[in-house]
Amino acid sequence: MSADSQSDHGFDLFNPTEEHDALRRMVRDFVSSEVEPQAMASDREEKFNRELFRQLGELDLLGITVPDEAGGAGFDATAAVIAHEEISASDPGFALAYLAHSMLFVNNFYQNSNDEQRARWLPKSLNGDWVGGMCMSEPGVGTDVLGMTTKAERDGDNYIINGRKMWITNGGLEAGVSGDIFLVYAKTGGNRISSFIVEKDRPGFSLGEKIGDKLGCRSSFTAGLVFEDCVVPASNRLGEEGDSMMHMMANLEIERLTLAAMSLGIAKRCLQVMVRYASEREAFGQPINRFGQIQRYIGESYAKYAAARAYTYNTARMMSIGATGGRVDSDGCKLFAAQMGKEVADNAIQVLGGFGYVGEYVVERLWRDAKLIEIGGGTIEAHQKNITKDLTRSMEELLD
Ligand SMILES: Cc1cc2nc3c(=O)[nH]c(=O)nc-3n(C[C@H](O)[C@H](O)[C@H](O)COP(=O)(O)OP(=O)(O)OC[C@H]3O[C@@H](n4cnc5c(N)ncnc54)[C@H](O)[C@@H]3O)c2cc1C
């Protein structure tokens, strides 16, 4: 056997099939013609772009992990990474709104719903008519999710939900207008967690405050939501009562993976900007990319970006949508990619000097956006805790 035939040189981890490659090109074209022109203004105005979101539905991106026969695109975790990476290279705030809808709401809903529920709620969630979100965090509880205080009590054929949720991406669409549909976690007895679909017109549901003046991801609408004797039919419950902790755990894996993908998009764009700038900008009679300290920013950024990218795509390759068991690596790649994205954006600003510190060169915005990935979907401390726990429990398997 020749050395060549034994090698994996033909395998492309980032575009494993022609369909993945075509998806990447399609999303990239959409990003350059539609997302990029509005990115700076949406950030400045803190505005979620509802029309642009609708176009994601036309491109079949909103149900990217939902099977074809259910109306989705029938793709895998790698495709979800591709879409988030490409959009985030231009507008991470918009990518976050896409993630909240397609991963936190649609994917989670599809995995845990029955046929009747899918027939009721999927079509408008896939075509872009509805914008959805997922409600886990509360004003007093984030990392310590079992401490949530929102409760759902059974009352005949209904449940009555009481509580407040906070930090909900797509919680609102514009001032005074809530998102359309939510997957809401609430306690149903002791520490047992159940999940419910709550549509915006349910009695007792209302939009609380817009969480404005965010550091970054300003083109997504983050809100508090209020549930005050909110009545939902028992048929809005997903799965069996008390079983949703498992739904949450499985969905957190794809959430963390696609958040890591957002950091990849941020880092790639920052690298493009700093490499170009360093070859054009001159100081002391030569391009600044001749200086060792500038080379260090570029070289370190590239190597860390490439490592995070390989880790994220390899984790995606191994992930089965809807299954648990991959937490150590979904946490691991978000832990690494989040810090990498922030560091690369910081390096880009440094390479650009004063020009990096203002909006025109984009890296200033990406630097602000990059920080979110260290907090949302689990803080980096939560990932460190989970990884230590998983390695301690399964050391022989994970560190073979
Ligand atoms: C822009 C944005 C969008 C978001 N979108 C959503 C959404 O759509 N849906 C949703 O449900 N939530 C959303 N969140 C909430 C996000 O998931 C939480 O902010 C996150 O889980 C952290 O929770 P917390 O903010 O309550 O911080 P806390 O949990 O109070 O943590 C505060 C600090 O304490 C540390 N800490 C806590 N426990 C431990 C521990 N055991 N060991 C070590 N350190 C610890 C944390 O790491 C952190 O540094 C969003 C947040 C932001 C900022």
Q: State if residue 332 touches ligand 1 by the CB under 6 angstroms criterion.
A: no
Residue type, 185: Y
Q: 63-122 pLDDT, tens per residue?
A: 999 999 999 999 999 999 999 999 999 999 999 999 999 999 999 999 999 999 999 999
Q: State if residue 373 touches ligand 1 by the CB under 6 angstroms criterion.
A: no
Q: What DSSP designation does 354 have?
A: G
- Calculate what percentage of the chain has a pLDDT beyond 70: 98
Q: Residue 13: what pLDDT?
A: 97
Q: How many angstroms separate the CA atoms of 312 and 88, rounded?
A: 15
**Alpha-helical segments (H) within the chain:** 3-6, 18-30, 36-45, 50-58, 77-88, 92-99, 108-112, 115-126, 244-280, 292-318, 327-352, 363-370, 380-393, 395-398
In this structure, which CATH number among 3.30.530.20, 2.40.110.10, 3.40.50.620, 1.10.340.30 belongs to the domain 132-238? 2.40.110.10
Record: fold of 18-126? Butyryl-Coa Dehydrogenase, subunit A; domain 1 (1.10.540)
Q: For residue 380, which atom of ligand 1 is closest to its CA? A: 47
Q: State if residue 378 touches ligand 1 by the CB under 6 angstroms criterion.
A: yes
Question: In which band, very low, low, confident or very high, does the pLDDT at 161 lie, cut at 50, 70 and 90?
Answer: very high
Q: Residue 9: what pLDDT?
A: 82
Cα torsion through 46, 50, 55, 56, rounded to 10: 70
Q: Residue 171: what pLDDT?
A: 98
User: What is the mean pLDDT of the segment spanning 192-200?
Assistant: 98
Q: In which residue are the tokens 């990217």 written?
A: 64
Q: State if residue 83 touches ligand 1 by the CB under 6 angstroms criterion.
A: no
Partners of 187 in beta bridges: 151, 193
User: What is the mean pLDDT of the segment spanning 187-216?
Assistant: 97
Q: State if residue 252 touches ligand 1 by the CB under 6 angstroms criterion.
A: no
Exposed/middle/buried for 187, CB within 10 Å: 0-12, 13-18, 19+? buried
pLDDT of 326 above 60: yes
Q: Residue 123: what pLDDT?
A: 98
Helix (H, G, I), strand (E, B) or coil at 356: helix
Distances 210 to 94, 168, 275, 355 between C-alpha atoms, Å? 17, 10, 38, 32
Q: 7-64 pLDDT, tens per residue?
A: 778 899 999 999 999 999 999 999 999 999 999 999 999 999 999 999 999 999 999 9
Q: Is the dihedral of CA 350, 353, 357, 363 positive or negative?
A: negative
User: What is the mean pLDDT of the segment spanning 153-179?
Assistant: 98
Q: How many angstroms separate the CA atoms of 178 and 201, rounded?
A: 10
Ligand 1 centroid to residue 375 C-alpha, Å: 6
User: What is the mean pLDDT of the segment spanning 283-303?
Assistant: 98
27, two tokens: 């999303």
pLDDT of 5 above 70: no
Q: Quick one: which of 249, 230, 214, 205 has its CA closest to 371?
A: 214
Q: What DSSP designation does 14 have?
A: S
**CATH topology match: 132-238 vs 244-398:** no
Q: State if residue 57 touches ligand 1 by the CB under 6 angstroms criterion.
A: no
Q: How many other β-carbons are positioned within 10 Å of the β-carbon of residue 82?
A: 27
pLDDT of 4 above 70: no
Ligand 1 centroid to residue 147 C-alpha, Å: 13
pLDDT of 311 above 50: yes
pLDDT of 323 above 60: yes
Ligand 1 centroid to residue 299 C-alpha, Å: 32
Mean pLDDT estimate for the chain? 97
Ligand 1 centroid to residue 143 C-alpha, Å: 5
Widest Cα–Cα separation across the chain: 80
Exposed/middle/buried for 272, CB within 10 Å: 0-12, 13-18, 19+? middle
Q: In which residue are the tokens 């803190």 written?
A: 46
209, two tokens: 């405050």
Q: State if residue 248 touches ligand 1 by the CB under 6 angstroms criterion.
A: no
Q: Quick one: which of 303, 281, 301 has its CA closest to 291?
A: 281
Ligand 1 centroid to residue 378 C-alpha, Å: 6
List the domain boundaries for the chain: 18-126, 132-238, 244-398
Q: State if residue 142 touches ligand 1 by the CB under 6 angstroms criterion.
A: yes
Closest CA to ligand 1's atom 24: 142
Report the first-to-last Cα separation within the chain, whole angstroms.
29
Phi, psi dihedrals of residue 325, rounded to the nearest 5° = 115, -10
Ligand 1 centroid to residue 12 C-alpha, Å: 35
- Mutation test residue for ligand 1: of 88, 255, 375, 380, the one with most atoms within 8 Å of CB: 375
- Calculate what percentage of the chain has a pLDDT beyond 90: 96
Asked if residues 314 and 271 have their Cβ atoms less than 8 Å apart, the reply is: no
Q: State if residue 136 touches ligand 1 by the CB under 6 angstroms criterion.
A: yes
pLDDT of 3 above 60: no
- Mutation test residue for ligand 1: of 136, 379, 385, 389, the one with most atoms within 8 Å of CB: 379
Q: Is the dihedral of CA 59, 65, 70, 73 positive or negative?
A: positive
Tell me the CATH architecture of domain 244-398.
Up-down Bundle (1.20)
Catalytic annotation present for 199: no
Q: Is the dihedral of CA 254, 256, 261, 266 positive or negative?
A: positive
Q: Residue 2: what pLDDT?
A: 52
Q: Residue 6: what pLDDT?
A: 61
pLDDT of 222 above 70: yes
Asked if residues 348 and 300 have their Cβ atoms less than 8 Å apart, the reply is: no
Q: How many angstroms separate the CA atoms of 52 and 139, rounded?
A: 30
Asked if residues 298 and 332 have their Cβ atoms less than 8 Å apart, the reply is: no
Which one of 85, 86, 253, 255 is the catalytic residue?
Answer: 255
Q: For residue 170, which atom of ligand 1 is closest to its CA? A: 8
Q: For residue 141, which atom of ligand 1 is closest to its CA? A: 26
Q: For residue 140, which atom of ligand 1 is closest to its CA? A: 26
Question: Angle CA(330)–CA(333)–CA(338) in degrees, nearest 5?
Answer: 120
Q: 62-71 pLDDT, tens per residue?
A: 999 999 999 9
Ligand 1 centroid to residue 144 C-alpha, Å: 9
Q: For residue 378, which atom of ligand 1 is closest to its CA? A: 21
Closest CA to ligand 1's atom 14: 167
